[in-house]
Structure 1
Amino acid sequence: PSGIGALWAIIIGMFVVVLLLLRVGNTIFNREELLGRQIDQLNLRGSLRKIWRYVRATNDNGTVASNIIQWYRQAIPHSLAKLKMPLMVTIGVFIAAFMLGYIFGQDPQYRLPLPEQTSLENSMTTLGQFLEVANVEEQAFLFIVWQNGRILLAATILAIFSFGVVALVLTSATFAILGYLLSQWVLAGYPIGFLGAALLTHGVIEIPIIIIATAAALRLGAVITHLPKGTSVGHAWITALGDTIKIGVGVVLPGLFIAAIIEAYITPRVIVALMGSG
């Protein structure tokens, strides 16, 4: 059954790719547009200048922000406003992945042999002692930033070559795992409030950042499937890349640093405090 399921998943994936390729073909090779405009020419230096311009742009005309305050007040909101549909798709996929992970965890053959609650409390005591070790929090902070950053960067790069699909697959796996772990936590009879506090302490920042980064990557990969009227493929992709870099530098990267600080320095102490009060 698992082999048949994998086969059907491949068939569905190929069908989606075919539809996207047909969409791209209709968009790029529209006869009227080919006759009415010049075909894009490869100009690496000029393209890089345009990308840098749209990274700083406050609107679609490429008006450059005069300072960082204007950049944050006008340029960033302008780029975020373009993510309405990608955000809806991303959130929907993440919710579906979380639910599938939870349902998967209900299967007895995939249950984890979790310890009794008394053993869990002993583990929390060990965690409290571990936090006293010098530099452990700093090392955890660097690891968290590196881990989250490279996954989102890889998702963004691979999204370019997959119409954004790979970005959804890579990042949604995290939510599927969370759903699975939640199911194991519930089945083991552990207190839900404890898990929620442990995850949401830093998750209130980290989860929205992951959603925004994935939505930006999805838009970047899928932009050529739905070009604005009168816009060339090159221009649409350059503006989308500029928006993606802008969001990455101005929103995602600072958000990852803040979330990592909370996760490394605050979340473990919240866990220990909750177990101590319980």
Structure 2
Amino acid sequence: MPLVNEGMGLRDLGKRGQRWLRGAWVIFRRDLLDILRDWRLVSPLALLLFIFPVLALLSAEAATRYMAQFGAQLVAERLLPFLALATGFLPLTVCLIIPLETFVGEKERRTLEPLLAAPVSDLQLYVGKGLAALIVPTATSLLGVTLYLLILIARRALPPEPALVLSLYGILSLHAVVMVAGAIVISTQSHSVRGANLLASFIILPLSMLLVFESSLLFWGSYRMLVIILCILLAYAVLLVRMGIALFNREQLLSAEFDTLDLRGMARGFWRALRTGDPDGLPRSGWDGLWGPIRRSGGALATLALLGLMGFALGWSLTPGIGSLPAEAILERLGPGGQNLSRSLALPLTAWGIFIHNLRAVLVNTLLGALSLGLWVAFYPVGLMGFIGMLLRMLFTIDPSLGMAGILAVLPHGLVELPAVGLAFAGALRLSLTLLTPPHPRSLRDRLLLALADWIKLLGLAIPPLLLAAWIEAHVTPHLVLGWLAARLP
């Protein structure tokens, strides 16, 4: 009997999945047909698709002939990937109007109300319209690059490198996902197509600068670095899609007409969140004012700790790949008892200077984390602990005594400093990821104000340990390191 119930449950689950896909497919087909029927959009795209690859190839041939006069034909040939990227990126910028007016355009045309009244969920609606807005720009971009490469092969009889072709397709596909996902977020939060088009510059400009950097990597053939860029783009694509799903709400689309910037209301809500731990001003206990921010940021703190451990393990494990180190030569340069190292450690380090440096690093990384949707804050512990792990492994490779000196140089103040920085970064990560959290009874503004107030409280809790860690680093750590070196090194 349990086998029968299990089989029936699987069939029911399959039927629900088919109904969900059918609902999303109806929305996708409707939007795709509307896009393809609009001749004012399809005609320019067709002209752009067939004309721009030819213009790019003619420009490449002209540059090749010009460079050949100076014996720099290889430089001209390395410009071909940039023209290929431009061939694929231009249709993406033109097609950006499609996702930008996905929701706000239908709202202005008064066709959104019947669509939102359809018996589909918010996720089905978002997925259907998002895929329809994505497929046209992506297909146009990839077709343009393919046509450019085919013409290049026909004219030059030189097949491009497979790594180059895969890199071009990967870059343009992820650019399309990032641009479309960001444009849909703008469309759901805008109240007019004009406002959405103005906000589109925050998508086009950063990706245009990134495109120049990617083209330089293709020019030098730095495919490994390009893989890192592609992984970062993939992470941003996932984050923006998650943000779109989290912020999409059909009732808000129907009810919201125009938002005013209520600075006084925001200031009052922020003060209440800072004073009571609640934007609504509900009374809370004094203990909750200190423990509440830590409890609410506990998940972010655990994530940062796990990432830090992963970074340390990665830095430690990858260090042997650099080869053997000349231990004798390095020990000779240190001098008897590490005298040369003693001189380098005798720098005029002050506790106040170290504290100001650490506090500035926390504030700058918090700002970068907010601008990068938490990605910078999440990967900062990986880089920091990875560098520490790499440095310690190198010192242990040279001599175990130097390895222990490295531990003494990090551990005393690190035991105080790392938890304090972790508290501040956990609040910054939670603040950055607030836009990605699922719908909540609280409004998005209240959640942002509460996260900002919690970050300020966590920063206040981190300041005393940072002062103590700076004092230890300035007055205790050098004596421990020098005493150990004097006793252990020959």
Pick the TM interval, shorter chain.
0.7 to 0.9
Question: Given residue 275 of structure 2, which amino acid in structure 1 is its aligned partner?
Answer: R
CA drift of 1:123 comes to 2.8
1:99 counterpart (313, 318, 340): 313
CA drift of 1:182 comes to 0.8
Shifted more, 162-171 versus 19-28: the winner is: 162-171
Q: Which residue of 1 aligns with 2:449?
A: 238
Q: Which residue of 2 aligns with 1:30?
A: 249
CA drift of 1:264 comes to 0.8
* CA distance in structure 2 between the partners assigned to 1:217 and 1:142 by the alignment: 24
Q: Secondary structure at the match of 2:222?
A: helix
* CA distance in structure 2 between the partners assigned to 1:36 and 1:245 by the alignment: 34
Q: In the alignment, is residue 153 of structure 1 matched against residue 355 of structure 2?
A: no
Aligned partners of 1:128 and 1:269 also within 8 Å: no
CA drift of 1:75 comes to 0.9
Q: Which residue of 1 aligns with 2:23?
A: none
CA drift of 1:85 comes to 1.6
CA drift of 1:37 comes to 7.8
Q: Which residue of 2 aligns with 1:81?
A: 295
- Summarize the Cα distance change of 1:165–1:125 in structure 2 as closer, same or farther, 3 Å threshold: closer
Q: In the alignment, is residue 18 of structure 1 matched against residue 228 of structure 2?
A: no
Deviations along 1:126-170, one digit per CA (max 9) or x if unpaired, are 359948xxxx4xx42122112211111111112112111112233
Shifted more, 225-234 versus 235-244: the winner is: 225-234
* CA distance in structure 2 between the partners assigned to 1:256 and 1:165 by the alignment: 24
Identity %: 25
Aligned partners of 2:416 and 2:469 also within 8 Å: yes
Question: Given residue 145 of structure 1, which amino acid in structure 2 is its aligned partner?
Answer: F
* CA distance in structure 1 between the partners assigned to 2:253 and 2:367 by the alignment: 29
* CA distance in structure 2 between the partners assigned to 1:165 and 1:88 by the alignment: 16
* CA distance in structure 2 between the partners assigned to 1:150 and 1:120 by the alignment: 37
2:397 counterpart (187, 194, 208): 187
Matches within 5 A, 1:1-278: 3-35=222-254, 41-58=260-277, 61-63=280-282, 70=286, 73-108=287-322, 115-116=330-331, 119=335, 121-123=337-339, 126-127=342-343, 130=346, 136=348, 139-191=349-401, 192-249=403-460, 251-278=461-488
* CA distance in structure 2 between the partners assigned to 1:116 and 1:262 by the alignment: 27
* CA distance in structure 2 between the partners assigned to 1:125 and 1:63 by the alignment: 57
* CA distance in structure 1 between the partners assigned to 2:397 and 2:344 by the alignment: 26
Q: Secondary structure at the match of 2:330?
A: coil
Question: Given residue 240 of structure 2, which amino acid in structure 1 is its aligned partner?
Answer: L
CA drift of 1:257 comes to 0.9
* CA distance in structure 1 between the partners assigned to 2:325 and 2:318 by the alignment: 9
- Summarize the Cα distance change of 1:181–1:125 in structure 2 as closer, same or farther, 3 Å threshold: closer
- Summarize the Cα distance change of 1:23–1:111 in structure 2 as closer, same or farther, 3 Å threshold: farther
* CA distance in structure 1 between the partners assigned to 2:257 and 2:276 by the alignment: 25
Q: Which residue of 1 aligns with 2:79?
A: none
- Summarize the Cα distance change of 1:236–1:265 in structure 2 as closer, same or farther, 3 Å threshold: same
- Summarize the Cα distance change of 1:96–1:128 in structure 2 as closer, same or farther, 3 Å threshold: closer
Taking structure 2 as the reference length, the TM-score comes to 0.49
The alignment yields a C-alpha RMSD, in angstroms, of: 3.1
Aligned partners of 1:198 and 1:271 also within 8 Å: yes
Question: Given residue 432 of structure 2, which amino acid in structure 1 is its aligned partner?
Answer: G
| Structure of higher CA gyration radius | 2
* CA distance in structure 1 between the partners assigned to 2:475 and 2:445 by the alignment: 44
Aligned partners of 2:304 and 2:422 also within 8 Å: yes
CA drift of 1:38 comes to 8.7
Question: Given residue 203 of structure 1, which amino acid in structure 2 is its aligned partner?
Answer: G
> Whose relative contact order is higher, 1 or 2, with alpha carbons under 8 Å and at least 6 apart?
1
Shifted more, 198-207 versus 35-44: the winner is: 35-44
CA drift of 1:206 comes to 0.7
Aligned length: 266
- Summarize the Cα distance change of 1:44–1:17 in structure 2 as closer, same or farther, 3 Å threshold: same
Question: Given residue 213 of structure 1, which amino acid in structure 2 is its aligned partner?
Answer: A
* CA distance in structure 2 between the partners assigned to 1:129 and 1:9 by the alignment: 36
* CA distance in structure 2 between the partners assigned to 1:129 and 1:94 by the alignment: 27
Aligned partners of 1:128 and 1:272 also within 8 Å: no
* CA distance in structure 1 between the partners assigned to 2:473 and 2:457 by the alignment: 25
Deviations along 1:91-133, one digit per CA (max 9) or x if unpaired, are 12212222222233212359687721763723378359948xx
Question: Given residue 317 of structure 2, which amino acid in structure 1 is its aligned partner?
Answer: I
Aligned partners of 1:217 and 1:244 also within 8 Å: yes
CA drift of 1:183 comes to 1.2
CA drift of 1:46 comes to 2.4
* CA distance in structure 2 between the partners assigned to 1:111 and 1:37 by the alignment: 65
* CA distance in structure 1 between the partners assigned to 2:324 and 2:487 by the alignment: 32
The unaligned stretches of length 5 or more in structure 2 are 1-162, 164-220
CA drift of 1:268 comes to 1.4
Aligned partners of 2:272 and 2:278 also within 8 Å: no
